[in-house]
Amino acid sequence: MSWHKRPEDQRREQIIAAALRVAARDGLARLTLRKVAAEAGLSHGSLLFHYGSKDLLLEALLDAVLDWLIRPAAPTARRLTDVLREEVSHADPDHTAVLLDFWVVGTRTPALRKRMRTAMESYETRLATLAPDTAAVSPRQLAALANTVVFGAALRRLLGADNHTDAVGALEKLLAAEPTARSD
Domain map (residue ranges) of the chain: 7-176
- pLDDT tens for 62-98 read 999 998 888 776 655 577 878 888 887 778 889 999 9
Q: Report pLDDT for 181.
A: 53
CA 132 to chain centroid = 23
Mean pLDDT of all residues belonging to the chain:
85
Taking the C-alpha atoms of residue 104 and residue 58, their distance in angstroms, rounded to an integer, is 14
Which has the higher per-residue pLDDT, 72 or 118?
A: 118
Provide the total of helices (H) and of strands (E) in the chain, helices listed first: 9, 0
- pLDDT tens for 27-45 read 999 999 999 999 999 999 9
Given the candidates 1.20.1250.20, 3.40.50.1440, 3.30.1330.20, 1.10.357.10, the CATH classification of the domain at 7-176 is 1.10.357.10
